[in-house]
Amino acid sequence: MGYLENSLINMIFCLTFLSFRFVNSAVYYGLSLGSSNLGGNDYLNFLISGAVEFPAYFMAQMTLAYLGRRWPLTGCMVIGGGALLFTMAVPDGKCCVSVK
C-alpha cells in the first residue's frame, strides 16, 4: 500500500468514527430533551430519565471492564438499528403499539 491509499483509508475511518459520534450524541440529547413530550409531568419525566442514567453508567463501566469496547458498542448499534427497523411496523396514525 502506498501513502495515498493509507491516507484515504485513515480519512474514511475518521469520517465514519465522527459520524457515529455525531449520531450517538444527537440521539442521546434528543431522547433526554424529548422526555418532556411523554404524558405526565414534564419535570418528573425529566427526573426519571436522569435517574435512569446512574445505573446505566455503573453497568457501562462494568461491561467495558470485562468485554472491552468493540463488542458492547457493536451490540448497542445492532440493537438500536433493530429498534429503528421495528418502528417501521407501527402503522401510520398510531403513536403506540400494544402486544396482545
Q: Is residue 37 scored above 90 in pLDDT?
A: no
Total-model pTM: 0.57
- Cell numbers that stand for 56 in this block: 446505566
- Cell numbers that stand for 16 in this block: 465514519
CA trace torsion 4, 10, 15, 18 (10° rounding): -160
pLDDT in tens, 38-74: 777 878 878 888 888 889 889 989 999 999 988 988 8
- Cell numbers that stand for 15 in this block: 469520517
Query: What pLDDT is attached to residue 58?
Result: 92
pLDDT in tens, 7-35: 888 888 888 888 888 888 888 888 777 77
Q: Are 2 and 20 in contact (CB under 8 A)?
A: no
